[in-house]
Amino acid sequence: MNSLFTKTARDGADHASSGESLRLANARLVLHDMVITGSVLIEDGKIAEIAEGDQVPQGAVDCAGDLVLPGLVELHTDNLERHIEPRPAVDWPHLPAILAHDGELASTGITTVFDALRVGSIHDSKARYGAYARKLADELLAIRAAGHLKISHFLHLRAEICSETLLEEMAQFGPEDRIGIVSLMDHTPGQRQFRDLGALRTYVSKKRGMSDGEFAEHVANLKELQRLYGARHEAGAVVEARRYGAVLASHDDTTSEQVAQSHSNGVGFAEFPTTIEAAEACNSHGIAVMMGAPNLIRGGSHSGNVAAIELAQAGFLDIVSSDYVPSALLLSAFRLSEIWGDLPRAVACVTENPARAAGLTDRGRLETGLRGDVLRVGQAGQTPILRGVWSCGRRVA
């Protein structure tokens, strides 16, 4: 991994320290491999002490037996794009959209996010996708530099292989842009996520209002783009990811052959493999498997692909992403805890494991010296109730 990104990712708090301290006491602390009753002290934005016992020192917050977890780490979310385009062709003002996105994530317990931005545009069909990532990234990074954001933001570039302008758009970014992840997105119809063309037709018909003829033209256009640019775009995106110092992710791997190609590209984690064959191949290659929280909570994929619960039961699930429902991330940890009977293992899928996959060693665990990103969580049965969110020791929700 590029040393510049590593330094940027680990350079401390996103917020200036107030010099105040916070102690959450009489809590059930979810540590790496156990749950203990104790307290956590945060000073200058970092965890300064973890102590056992149910004592509540003067000035401490009495958690009354609630759980205290590390802040959630989100690697793949469409939430920012949903805020800037709340309806097709509706361009919402970007500053309030970014602030609303940031506040929404904080309110769900996410304290680190890799905001997914598409790179690669299509101009020659009804399903037109224009370039937007560079402008939006500039706005987001400026808002962050001004101190207006509640949580820690990095960028995740979704590299659309089936596009006309992928490499030109990626060339506009560099190592200074906090790009932590580049994912290789091949949405050629008839394979990966959209092996079932009926599912693709339903998706684009609802989103773009295509007629049958327009859909047939759209499918033919994407297949032609893959033929013309696919190999060059994939190879070029791998090179650009290395230039940024970003972690490389695959997307929707379906076969063991596709996973082998991902492995040869240097992929660190796999987003949403569509079959148990692909997930098992990822496991054998040492590629972490990420699945969507909505899939896990609903009990299946809306696209007809493998169920996250099946991968969890088979031992092939390492990371969970909220995908398109931010509040699903915390809930998914409690669903996994029910499946595995192991709360620390489940919590690691939304904290420690995604942090490690993204190359962040300064967060994701309750451990002295790490960032003071913590959650206080009560429970109503197996449903978590978020009672407080702190980013670098500063309360943000």
| Model pLDDT for residues 189-234, shown as the tens digit of each residue | 656 566 665 556 556 555 566 676 776 776 777 777 787 888 899 9
pLDDT at 378 over 60: yes
Confidence of residue 11 (pLDDT cuts 50, 70, 90): very low
What local confidence, expressed as pLDDT, does residue 12 receive? 39
Q: Is the pLDDT of residue 7 over 60?
A: no
- Helices 212-244 and 197-208 pack at an angle, to 10 degrees, of 90
Q: What is the CATH number of the domain that holds 314?
A: 3.20.20.140
Q: Which of 296-310, 348-362, 381-395 has the lowest mean pLDDT?
A: 296-310
- When pLDDT is averaged across residues 132-156 and rounded to a whole number, the result is 97
In this prediction, residue 113 has a pLDDT band, given cuts at 50, 70 and 90, of very high
pLDDT at 285 over 80: yes
User: Worst-scoring range by mean pLDDT, 95-104, 154-163, 182-191, 298-307?
Assistant: 182-191
Statement: residue 25 has pLDDT above 50: yes
pTM score = 0.90
Residue 18 has pLDDT above 70, yes or no: no
In a domain, 213, yes or no: yes
Is 46 domain-assigned? no
Instruction: Name the residue range of residue 217's domain.
Output: 71-362
Number of domains comprising the chain:
1
When pLDDT is averaged across residues 378-384 and rounded to a whole number, the result is: 95
Residue 329 located in a structural domain: yes
| Residue 368 domain flag | no
The verdict on residue 154 lying in a domain is: yes
Whether 309 has a pLDDT exceeding 80, the answer reads yes
pLDDT at 242 over 80: yes
Q: What is the mean pLDDT of the chain?
A: 90
pLDDT above 60: residue 2: no
Residue 74 has pLDDT above 90, yes or no: yes
How large is the average pLDDT for residues 51-57?
A: 97
The pLDDT of residue 121? 87
Does residue 39 sit within a domain? no
- Judged by average pLDDT, the poorest of 54-63, 128-137, 139-148, 149-158 is 128-137
What is the reported pLDDT for 209?
62
In a domain, 17, yes or no: no
Average pLDDT over every residue of 147-166: 95
Flag whether 140 is in a domain. Answer: yes
Residues 102-120 have a mean pLDDT of 97
